[in-house]
Amino acid sequence: MIQVQELTHSFKIGKKGKERKIPVLKGLSFAINEGEIVSIVGRSGSGKSTLLHILAGFLKPDAGIIQIGDVRTSTFSEAESAKFRLDHFGFIFQNFQLMPGLTAFENVELPLKLAGVAKKDRQKKVQQLLQLVGLTEVQDHYPNELSGGQQQRVSIARALITDPPIIFADEPTGSLDSETEQDILLLIQSLNKTRGITFIIITHDDTVAETADRVYKMHDGELSEGGVGHAS
């Protein structure tokens, strides 16, 4: 489903005119199948977050090809990338990235608003998802009135609302205690099984990595397959 070939990226650092190029991704090639949970693990600075940003279209690679389904996303403009993200991707972030001025309900609703879905269609769908993640009771609460686990559930519901085939999760349990972490991981596994969603999880946590069907290890901008995670 996701084909990556010879993906290269480097960052420029230093003053203008005296910049140095630091290679971050060194010609990565790999594939991710439909309905898989894939973990990319690695130490800080290994390039795993940069890889996610490039796959999600937040960042343009220096070179290489990214093909998602039949579409070559690596050549997209910023506007094309945004549209593709809205239709095909969901995101779960370490610090949840919820809108502080919107309630749990409104946060989940936001991608549907961006997609131009009519109000009555939105409401039904948001209700269903809030029920799925167990947050019906607190749907009118603002993010600062929710626990970390609840906020991450809102974030998961928001990622699911447009029925995307792929969800990127960047350290999804990094801000949660171990008990809540287990809940969230079980939810991810369950969504993967019931809805066939492909999850690409960036983590440095072995527990999280073990949830995956396959684990890739990033080291100094190079990727190696680290074997099967939870060996289902």
The residues that touch another protein, with contacts defined as CB under 8 A, are: 53, 56, 58-59, 78-79, 82-83, 85-87, 89, 91, 93, 95, 97-101, 110-111, 113-116, 118-119, 158, 162
Q: Which of 147, 143, 209 has its CA nearest to residue 172?
A: 209
Residue 122 CB, nearest approach to another protein (Å)? 9
Q: Nearer to another protein by C-beta: 98 or 215?
A: 98
CB 190 within 8 A of CB 171: no
Chain-centroid distance of CA 25 in Å reads 19
CB of 170 to another protein, least distance (A): 9
Q: Exposed/middle/buried for 11, CB within 10 Å: 0-12, 13-18, 19+?
A: middle
Q: How far is the CB of 82 from another protein (least distance, A)?
A: 5
Q: How far is the CB of 56 from another protein (least distance, A)?
A: 8
- The H-or-E segment that residue 202 falls in is strand 198-203
Give the residue with the Cβ less far from another protein, 65 or 102. 102
Angle at 83 between CA 153 and CA 123, to 5 degrees: 45
CB 152 within 8 A of CB 93: no
> Of 1 and 102, which has the nearer Cβ to another protein?
102
